[in-house]
């Protein structure tokens, strides 16, 4: 694997992971503000209802997936701006 491809894989993955982590925190904060309760963490807890579990899964999953795509897109734009060419393609 060449050096440029390795650098792009690290940059793209780092941006996606970082954005996903921030999105998860943001989704948790929004859940707390909106419902005045903690997001469901333990599905085995008897106090947590299935609608809450499923709603949290949908909200957090969407937020994290969306943020990861945006993070990779920003990394790609940064790469193009810095080097004047597209990042190496996936194989």
The predicted structure's pLDDT at residue 47: 84
* Count of C-beta atoms within a 10 Å radius of residue 82: 8
Q: How large a percentage of the chain has pLDDT more than 70?
A: 99
Integer-rounded Cα Rg, in Å, for the chain is 18
Q: What is the mean pLDDT of the chain?
A: 92
The predicted structure's pLDDT at residue 1: 61
Long-range pairs, 22-27, Cβ under 8 A, ≥24:
22/67, 23/63, 23/64, 23/66, 23/67, 23/68, 24/60, 24/63, 24/64, 26/63, 27/59, 27/60, 27/63, 27/64
Mean pLDDT of 8-22: 94
pLDDT digits (tens, 9 = 90+) for 23-44: 999 999 999 999 999 999 887 8
Is residue 80's pLDDT more than 70?
A: yes
* Cα gap 84→60, rounded to integer Å: 35
């Amino acid at each position: 694997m060449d050096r440029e491809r390795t650098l792009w894989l690290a940059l793209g993955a780092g941006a996606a992971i970082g954005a996903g982590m921030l999105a998860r925190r943001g989704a948790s904060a929004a859940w707390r503000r909106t419902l005045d309760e903690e997001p469901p963490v333990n599905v085995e807890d008897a106090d947590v209802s299935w609608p809450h579990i499923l709603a949290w899964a949908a909200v957090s999953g969407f937020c994290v997936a969306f943020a990861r795509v945006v993070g990779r897109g920003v990394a790609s734009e940064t790469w193009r701006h810095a080097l004047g060419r597209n990042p190496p393609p996936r194989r």
